[in-house]
Each structure stands twice: as structure tokens, then as C-alpha cells.
């Protein structure tokens, strides 16, 4: 099998199983937190790292929210677990400054959790692993788009960076931002992110003090997010409140 075909096949396989990446991340975090002491960090340094970690995850959510909130139905930004889907090509708005904003958002959301382990080597390792993992997914997606849209895709791809945004290339989006789309589609990602922070915080407390604390700020945050998620999920599946015409 030609290398390019093998690379694409691997990308399609990883695309279908990309939901397993967070699970692997959680498992790797256990020994990392265990062997990463906090004694070398002052309380102020720990607070700074914590807030930077939270800010990174929030940035990731904002990037994803902008992408999803300006995506019309049937475009290249809306794929399924079974494969690539695209009836039209996104080339304006956030897609005019970066070709894969959703994956960029994923990176920041998860790297915030990784930084929360206080292990900078882990941040570097996960960054490299994320790139190797998603590089193949992005390659497979772009091969699909190239075959489907031909010259129109190549013209856009040649002027738009894949993963590092170029703000000066921004073109106003033709579709207005829809907060309803974000509420309908992003609650599970927010919940997974909060669970990640709670998981790391609980691990660190258990390894450091051999105890489990229920009444923590992170647990309160988790309860609030769970309630919001249950409300949004119910509205999505049992009412027309979050339905929109022309949106995925």
C-alpha cells in the first residue's frame, strides 16, 4: 500500500475512534499525578498554573463555540463518527484563518487539563502525541475535501494555515453566530472538560493526603455543569427549543 494511502487509512481509523483519546489521557494522568509532587511549587505558583490551565481550556471552548456557532448545515465542519460529511466548504469566519479550528479547540481544552497536573514534561508529551494523532485525522479529512471540492478546496487550503491561525487572513463569516447551536452541541464537551479537572484535583488530593474530599470548589462546579447538561439534553431531545433551520 502506498504511504499516502496508508496515512489516509490510519487517519480515517483514528477519526472513528477519536473519542478514546480522552480515556487514554485520563489513564496516563494517574501515574503522572502520583509522581509529580507539588512541594517544589509555592502556593502562588500553583494558583497561577491552575488559572492558566483553566484559561487554556476556556480558550479551547471559545474556539469550538465560534466554529460551531457559525457552521451551517451540511458543511465540512460537521462530520459523523462513521466518516467525513460535507455538502459545502467552509472558507469564511474562523475557517478563513485556520483550516481545523475544531481540532485546535480540542487541543486547548485538553492541554489545560494536562497542565493542571503541574507536570510540564507531560504537557510536551501530550502536545506531541496530539499532533501525531490528529495530523493523520486532518490528512484524511483534507484528502476527502480535496476529492470532493477540487480546485476550490486547493485554493482555500493554499492560503489558509492548517493549525496555527493567521488573523490577518480573516474574512467575515457569511453565517451569523448562533448561541443555540453551541448550547445544542457543546454541552458534552464542557462536561468532559470539567470532569477532567475534577479527576486531576481528586487524584492529587488522594495521593498527597490519602483522603477524598466531597465539598470542594471543583465538585460544586461539576454539580452545576451536570444540572445544566441535563437541562440542555432534555431540551434537545424532548422539545423543539434548541432546533434551528439550516443548522446541523
pLDDT tens for residues 129-148? 999 888 888 888 888 888 88
Q: What is the pLDDT of residue 76?
A: 52
Q: Taking the alpha carbons of 106, 112, 114, 120 in that order, is the dihedral positive or negative?
A: positive
Task: Please tell me the distance from the alpha carbon of residue 248 to that of residue 240, in angstroms, as a whole number.
Answer: 14
Contact by Cβ (8 Å): 73, 67: no
Q: What angle do CA 147, 186, 200 make, to 5 degrees?
A: 110
Cα dihedral angle (236, 98, 55, 42), rounded to 10 degrees?
A: 140
Q: What is the pLDDT of residue 2?
A: 61
Q: Closest Cα partner for 109 from 62, 76, 66?
A: 62
Q: What is the pLDDT of residue 77?
A: 47
Q: What is the pLDDT of residue 78?
A: 47
Q: What is the architecture of the domain spanning 3-175?
A: Up-down Bundle (1.20)
Segments of the chain scoring below 70 in pLDDT? 1-3, 7, 74-87, 246-248
- What is the grid cell recorded at 209? 493526603
HEC string for the chain: CCHHHHHHHHHHHHHHCHHHHHHHHHHHHHHHHHHCCCCCCCHHHHHHHHHHHHHHHHHHHHHHHHHHHCCECCECCCCECCECCCCECCCCEHHHCCCCHHHHHHHHHHHHHHHCCCCHHHHHHHHHHHHHHHHHHHHHHHHHHHHHHCHHHHHHHHHCCCCCCCHHHCECCCCCCCHHHHHHHCHHHHHHHHHHHHHHHHHHHHHHHCCCCCCCHHHHHHHHHHHHHHHHHHHHHHCCCCCCCCEC
Looking up cell 502506498 gives: 2
Looking up cell 448561541 gives: 179
Contact by Cβ (8 Å): 170, 111: no
Q: What is the pLDDT of residue 86?
A: 61
Amino acid at each position: 500500500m502506498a504511504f499516502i494511502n496508508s496515512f489516509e487509512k490510519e487517519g480515517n481509523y483514528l477519526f472513528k475512534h477519536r473519542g478514546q483519546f480522552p480515556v487514554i489521557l485520563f489513564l496516563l494522568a494517574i501515574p503522572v499525578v502520583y509522581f509529580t509532587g507539588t512541594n517544589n511549587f509555592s502556593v502562588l505558583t500553583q494558583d497561577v498554573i491552575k488559572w492558566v490551565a483553566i484559561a487554556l481550556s476556556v480558550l479551547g471552548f471559545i474556539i469550538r463555540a465560534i466554529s460551531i456557532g457559525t457552521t451551517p448545515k451540511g458543511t465540512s465542519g460537521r462530520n459523523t463518527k462513521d466518516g467525513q460529511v460535507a455538502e459545502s466548504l467552509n472558507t469564511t469566519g474562523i475557517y478563513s484563518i485556520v483550516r481545523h479550528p475544531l481540532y485546535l479547540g480540542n487541543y486547548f481544552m485538553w492541554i489545560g487539563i494536562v497542565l493542571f497536573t503541574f507536570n510540564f514534561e507531560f504537557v510536551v508529551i501530550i502536545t506531541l502525541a496530539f499532533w501525531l494523532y490528529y495530523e493523520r485525522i486532518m490528512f484524511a479529512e483534507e484528502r476527502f475535501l480535496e476529492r470532493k471540492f477540487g480546485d476550490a478546496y486547493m485554493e482555500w487550503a493554499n492560503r489558509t494555515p492548517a493549525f496555527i491561525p493567521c488573523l490577518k487572513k480573516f474574512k467575515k463569516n457569511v453565517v451569523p453566530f448562533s448561541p443555540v447551536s453551541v448550547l445544542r452541541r457543546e454541552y458534552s464537551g464542557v462536561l468532559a472538560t470539567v470532569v477532567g479537572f475534577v479527576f486531576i484535583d481528586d487524584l492529587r488530593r488522594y495521593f498527597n493526603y490519602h483522603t477524598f474530599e466531597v465539598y470542594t470548589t471543583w465538585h460544586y462546579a461539576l454539580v452545576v455543569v451536570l444540572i445544566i447538561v441535563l437541562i440542555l439534553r432534555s431540551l434537545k431531545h424532548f422539545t423543539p427549543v434548541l432546533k434551528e433551520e439550516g443548522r446541523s
